Structure 1
């Protein structure tokens, strides 16, 4: 799942900020050693933090159905995770880096969620939008200065991009076999004659497969 979001972000940046031939998009950590090897304008989209969106956690299993409403199995709800990316621009001149960051902003700000064409197929199955935020300050427990210190580099202009995605949870729970027969139970009186004055218990099922 994470690698699919990596590629979705890369495609989005490629279309709006760095058209083919104008630079590279890297996923590596922007350390000093990495920067020393660069020979072309580059935007680094470094995934520096993965945290669960605890407020969206759901309890209990739910039924997955086919197109006809038939229960196929039951499973735990997906858990949502915040993927935080540190976006930085790397060129020989600060002016060019700022221009690249402006292009990144212009490419991402129109979207509050990943465009449908960029959402991976495995995520589309959850039928929920994949939230995207740009420039929102990181969690209080993690400052940008601490991130750069951990990378061993000097503080550099950057954008914090967060994409919140569902992650499937296993196991999948099987359900019982479909019911294919039905029965009608009639309440009879003491003399064996059906008693129309008493309520009847009716138990039927659809022919074919159960929808329960």
Structure 2
């Protein structure tokens, strides 16, 4: 699922750069090997969106409306990407970032044709946010320190996507025949009545008023 979101993001960013869209960690060694203008979308954080978590089980139905399977609700995750531009001149990097921002800002959700097939049964609306300040528990400066590189201008891009949860349980076939009740005698021998359909009792008959009716 994560690699499919990578490809969806690559498709959105590709028109902004004549070179490549990469997902490598932007370390010093990687930067030294780069030989063309590049937009880098580094996946630096994966966290569950606990506010979207659902409990219980969901029923899957066929075209006739019959329950065929039961499954647990999908879990939603926030995939955070650090998008940076890499060229030989800062002005060109800023131009690439501007192009990336122009391509991403019109979308509050991933475009419908970019939603991966694997998550379409769950949802076709995957939230997308761009340049929103990250949570206080995350510091971009700390990320760059961990990568061993110098701080660069970047866009924080977050895609929220469902992840199907297994296992899926097959449902028992629907009941098509009513229950039967066999009436037996006191001594265990079947009585005169054969098998009878067990039915719910109907509404109680209205009570009769007491008194004597005189007929002339």
TM-score strictly above 0.5: yes
Secondary structure at the counterpart of residue 29 of structure 2? helix
Matched, 1:169 2:165: yes
TM-score (norm 2): 0.82
Give how far 1:146 is off.
0.4
Q: What is the distance in 2 between the residues matched to 1:118 and 1:47?
A: 18
Q: What is the distance in 1 between the residues matched to 2:63 and 2:98?
A: 45
Structure 1: unaligned runs, 5 residues or longer: 186-191, 193-197, 202-212
Q: What is the distance in 2 between the residues matched to 1:153 and 1:175?
A: 54
Structure 1, 123-132 or 27-36: larger mean CA deviation: 123-132
Give how far 1:70 is off.
1.5
Aligned residue number for residue 12 of structure 1: 12
Give how far 1:174 is off.
2.2
Moved runs in structure 1, 4+ residues, more than 6 A? none
Aligned residue number for residue 68 of structure 1: 64
Aligned residue number for residue 91 of structure 1: 87
Superposition RMSD in Å: 1.9
Secondary structure at the counterpart of residue 65 of structure 2? coil
Aligned residue number for residue 206 of structure 1: none
Give how far 1:151 is off.
0.4
Q: What is the distance in 1 between the residues matched to 2:22 and 2:99?
A: 16
Aligned residue number for residue 147 of structure 2: 151
TM-score (norm 1): 0.83
Q: What is the distance in 2 between the residues matched to 1:199 and 1:74?
A: 32
Give the count of matched residue pairs: 186
